[in-house]
Amino acid sequence: MQSIQEERANMRSIREELNVRKKMLLLLAFSAGFLFVILILSFWLSNDNLRLGAGSKNLAPSLEHLFGTDWLGRDMFTRTIKGLRLSLAVGALASLLSVLIAIVMGICAATFGKAGDAVISWIIDLFIGMPHLVFMVLICFLAGGGIHGIVLGVCLTHWTALARVVRSEVLQIRSAEYIQISRSYGKSAWYIARKHIMPSIFPQIMIGFLLMFPHVILHEAALTFLGFGLSPQTPAIGIILSEAMSHISTGKWWLVVFPGLLLVVVVKSFDSIGEKIRILVEPSSSNE
């Protein structure tokens, strides 16, 4: 009798776990689909909507102009969507570079002995200890601004947390029995790193990349808001919000509300994707 009750309880817990996973997969698909629609729209919308229009200045949101128009007659929906495409492109490139830096620094810290670990740990603490936005502004200014300056400033300041995760994972993997067996068979360090270490830390790297993405997008928007090197004609979310600040006091609320709201939704979508994948890959992390 007791074994039957235990079996029923186990079946119930399995069903609940499957339902939770289904909900997570649905939310994951919805977030990914929303971002895919944003990208498709950014290529589909015509650049003609960004031309100056003397007869369509400061129009409120309508069916013809979903997000209204700005003080130069440009369609705000088109500007916002194309600005988000720029943010996604910069975010992807900066996140990828940050991940590469984190992998190199984390593996070097775990494999170069105590001296190398101490030096790299000191560098990580130095980057973490400096004010984040100030450090990005300084790097961007030294790089001359522009897209390359923004990418450099963002990627050089977002690798530290993932580098610590990589270092910790590599230290655990190095002491594993199968690594010792591989060494005893005379396998090279490159073979061990390529066949054993990289496949083992890939899930953490992928999750770190996805969780880094929303922070990178927000910081890219902050740098463009401060006006580092991008022309005012560039449809970037930071530039759109910066220009709108001088017009919102005149009642043109749509110039700020819609771009800012869509930026928040995109950031939360990426954050949701990263969190859901982290929980699906590491179920124990959901209880932390």
Q: Tell me the β-bridge partners of 75.
A: 69
Q: What is the pLDDT of residue 284?
A: 52
**pLDDT-based confidence at residue 218 (cuts at 50, 70, 90):** confident
CA distances from 151 to 155, 235, 253, 261, 262 (A): 6, 17, 30, 23, 22
Q: What is the pLDDT of residue 17?
A: 60
**Residue 236, in any domain of the structure:** yes
Mean pLDDT for 102-119 is 83
Centroid of chain to Cα 105:
20
CATH classification at residue 38: 1.10.3720.10
**Residue 53, in any domain of the structure:** no
**Residue 61, in any domain of the structure:** no
Q: Which has the closest alpha carbon to 98: 145, 156, 138?
A: 156
**10-14, 33-37, 108-112: which range is least confident on average?**
10-14
Number of domains in the chain: 1
Distance CA 31, CA 27 (A): 6
Does the pLDDT of residue 75 top 60, yes or no?
yes
Domain range for 8 is 2-45+71-287
Tell me: the pLDDT tens digits for 178-193? 777 777 877 777 777 7
Residue 156 has phi, psi (to 5 degrees) of -80, -5
**Residue 51, in any domain of the structure:** no
- The secondary structure of 53-104 as a DSSP string is -GGGTTPPP-SSSTT-B-TT--BHHHHHHHHHHHHHHHHHHHHHHHHHHHHH
**Residue 52, in any domain of the structure:** no
**pLDDT-based confidence at residue 7 (cuts at 50, 70, 90):** low
Tell me: the pLDDT tens digits for 123-171? 888 888 877 788 888 888 888 777 888 888 888 888 888 888 888 888 8
**Residue 54, in any domain of the structure:** no
Average pLDDT over the chain, rounded to whole? 80
Instruction: Give the per-residue SS3 of 100-167.
Output: HHHHHHHHHHHHCHHHHHHHHHHHHHHHHHCCHHHHHHHHHHHCCCHHHHHHHHHHCCCCHHHHHHHH
Q: What is the pLDDT of residue 5?
A: 56
**Residue 219, in any domain of the structure:** yes
